[in-house]
Homo-oligomer: A and B are copies of this chain.
Amino acid sequence: MSEIAHLGPVELLTPKFDASLAFFTDVMGLEIHAQEGDSTYLRGWGDYQRWSLKLTASDRSGMGVLGIRAWSPEALERRVAAIAATGLGGGWTDGDLGRGPSYRFRDPDGHVFEIYYECERYVAPPGLEPALKNIPGRNLGRGIACKRLDHINILAADVRANREFCTDALGYRLYERIELDDGVEAGAWMSASIAAHELIYTHDARDAHGRLHHLAFWVDTREECLRAADLWLDAGVEIEAAPSKHAIAAGFFLYGIEPGGNRIEVTTGGRFVYAPDEPVVVWTEADRKKGQAWGVKTVESFHTYGTPPVD
């Protein structure tokens, strides 16, 4: 049981705003919910909040603010106290579109987070109500038609320090991690639910700070992931890694680079962790040498590239 409900919304920065927006709407199939200043607020048809992605024009790529929703007002209070105690707290903000008071802080690596409880649910406009009442929005079937934001993988120079901050101060559960032969922690997969992962840290090969590895959007089936690869191919999206299955967390993936330079994943599957006392799975260098679940060798760029790029 975690005091965190889930991750998101997320702000993504792009130096090629128009092209990025076209990618997220035409290819990924997200809906435009609102526009304010340099930002467009987007959502998948299955996102219950008003938006899950804030795309912001910027002079650089990478992640802006990463939202985390607390389980309750009381949980929010307790988490803020715990964060403040670490000295990494920033202070309260007015939140963002449809979001109530938010407490801003940085993880040890410098990524900006906001934790909040209050937020508005999406209400489908007249004429666009979904056919089934347990689904937030209508699936219009445009492009990949991603259902919702799923998880994020952020780079950190010191994975262990950031992972410990997330488990100790935020209350995330740690499910899997990579430990190199020299004892260094090279990756940590955390979740606030039974889902395989939600917040991932992996080692920044450049030892830079505050960078993004990738942002992942959910589709319900592996077939939709395969179909996404076909659509990316025809749409001219740069495919970094063709669909296959991760060994770690067992998620099915497709990775590519959106026009603004950020790595985007279309994902589904992944294991469920039902045991409250599930042992943390530790992957060694020897394990990692076997490649992904079915032996696919990960391309080199996957281990080195992040946004914003480092010269």
Contact = CB atoms under 8 A, between A and B. Distances in A.
A234 B139 contact: yes
Contacts of A132: 233, 247, 250, 293
A294 B243 contact: yes
Interface of A: 1-3, 5-6, 27, 29, 46, 48, 69, 71-72, 121, 130-135, 138-144, 176, 193-195, 220-224, 226-227, 229-231, 233-236, 239, 242-245, 247-250, 254, 269, 271-272, 274-276, 278, 281, 283, 287, 292-296
14 contacts: A1-B1, A1-B3, A5-B276, A133-B287, A134-B247, A134-B271, A141-B142, A142-B142, A193-B194, A193-B272, A221-B221, A222-B223, A242-B245, A242-B296
A283 B133 CA distance: 8
Given A139-B231, A220-B269, A295-B239, A134 B274 contact: no
Contact of A224 (B227, B239, B247, B281): B227
Give chain A's interface secondary structure class. loop
A52 to B, nearest CB: 10
Contacts of A226: 222, 245
B1 A234 contact: no
A29 B248 CA distance: 25
A46 B275 CA distance: 12
Given A1-B1, A223-B222, A244-B242, A275 B134 contact: no
A152 to B, nearest CB: 14
A276 B72 contact: yes
B242 A141 contact: no
Contacts of A141: 27, 29, 142-144, 227, 231, 234-235
